[in-house]
Amino acid sequence: MRLKIFTADNMKAALAQVREALGDDAIIINNVEEDGKVKITAAIEIPTARITRRRTPPPQPKPAPVQRSLKDLEQEDHTDSINLSYFLAHHGIEKTMMRRILETAASFDEDSNIKALAKALDIMFHFSPLRNDYQNRPVMLVGPPGVGKTVTTAKLTSQAVLSGQTVRLINTDIIRTGGTAQLEGYAQVLKTTVIEASEPDLLSAAIETNRQPHELVIIDTMGYNPFNCDEMAELHRFIAACDVEPILVVSAGSDPVEAQEIAETYMNLGVRRFIATRLDVARRYGSLLATAASMDLALAGVSITPYLAKGIEQINATSLARLLTRIPDRKIFVPPKKNRIKKVKKHDTP
């Protein structure tokens, strides 16, 4: 469903604008008079994106994607002789923070270092998982471009649908090429629809029109550059338009210092929780602690597999300690000899 606002001197002129822009099938959502002008909010159903299958050659054997969950990590055996400083250094954790973590962990009389680390993380960081606490207050996923907001939206929707809840999907990103089609493709699989709200003034109508009791509302937004004031001002207008909770989405494996700067910027827009994505394609998780340390942002969940059905997993101090005391395998693909590209020597001509 696409919503749009039309303003004219009188009702007849406003309705003419609606017909011209949206056609005769448009639905009038609301109309008001302000300062001698007529303002109409109208909507039209948009066709659902079709998903077509491509003909592909028989699949070749390939490594299976990460399918482990945080629950698997909870059940793993770790020896008591874990060298915490070695693992924390691998994950790129800043030296001052690493020293604080180690000193705090050392203050506990535990029979294993992993338990001591979990207690230290529980004291130093906050964990606030997404459960049913957003039934009454919509959540808006925000963050820089390319961190996986749309996939995270689909995962949260998938979790809710599988648990028998109804979900209202709203998309404010109509600029990015293919962004709407991607979300509508996910929505088709999950047997729901997407409502477009291209302007802050349309967001309230998109949220409240015919909303069912206990219906979850999840809002996907465009990727905004956290270092561009104009873009952040536009995002702030969307956040301020309604009573929504903005949740930051960040990608694991990024530079910890930059992650902290990004978190500080979004913190000024009212962000209090964040979700970390792409743990399955990262080998270093120091940016998670840097984001959490920035103004005490709470870790709301992580995405550790590429599957929608797996959803966003809850995380606590123990599972985070498990993540930080393992180094994901680094497997380098080497093509068969017959397919290797011949190296060009300096004296060879191209």
Q: What is the predicted pLDDT for the residue at 33?
A: 83
Out of 105-114, 150-159, 270-279, 326-335, give the one with best mean pLDDT.
270-279
The CB-based long-range contact list for 51-60 (8 Å cut-off, 24+ gap) reads 51/185, 51/188, 51/189
Instruction: Look up tokens 């979300």; give the residue.
Output: 183
CA 335/CA 343 separation, integer angstroms: 14
Q: What percent of the chain has pLDDT over 90?
A: 49
Q: At what angle do helices 95-106 and 113-124 cross, to 10 degrees?
A: 120
Instruction: Answer yes or no: is pLDDT of 50 > 50.
Output: no
pLDDT category at 66 given cuts 50, 70, 90 is very low
pLDDT at 204: 92
Domain chopping of the chain, boundaries: 2-44, 126-324
Task: Pick the more confident residue, 53 or 136.
Answer: 136
What mean pLDDT, rounded, does the chain reach?
A: 83
**What's the average model confidence in pLDDT over 204-231?**
92
Count CB atoms within 10 A of the CB of residue 238.
23
Q: pLDDT tens digits for 282-329?
A: 999 999 999 999 888 999 999 988 787 778 999 999 999 999 998 877
Q: How far apart are CA 72 and CA 270, in angstroms?
A: 34
Q: Does residue 180 surpass a pLDDT of 50?
A: yes
pLDDT tens across 82-123, in order?
Answer: 789 999 999 999 999 999 999 999 999 888 899 999 999 999
More confident residue, 222 or 332: 222
The lowest-confidence range among 49-58, 156-165, 175-184, 211-220 is 49-58
pLDDT score recorded for residue 81: 53
What DSSP letter does each residue of 28-86 carry, written as one string? EEEEEEETTEEEEEEEE--PPPP--PPP-PPPPP-PPPP---HHHHHT----TT--HHH
What percentage of the chain carries pLDDT values higher than 70? 82
Asked whether the predicted pLDDT for residue 54 surpasses 60, the reply is no
Structurally, at CATH architecture level, domain 126-324 sits in 3-Layer(aba) Sandwich (3.40)
What is the reported pLDDT for 84?
92
Is 70 exceeded by the pLDDT of residue 227? Answer: yes
**173-177, 210-214, 260-264: range with lowest mean pLDDT:** 173-177
Q: How far apart are CA 99 and CA 111, in angstroms?
A: 21
Count helices and strands (H / E) in the chain: 12, 11
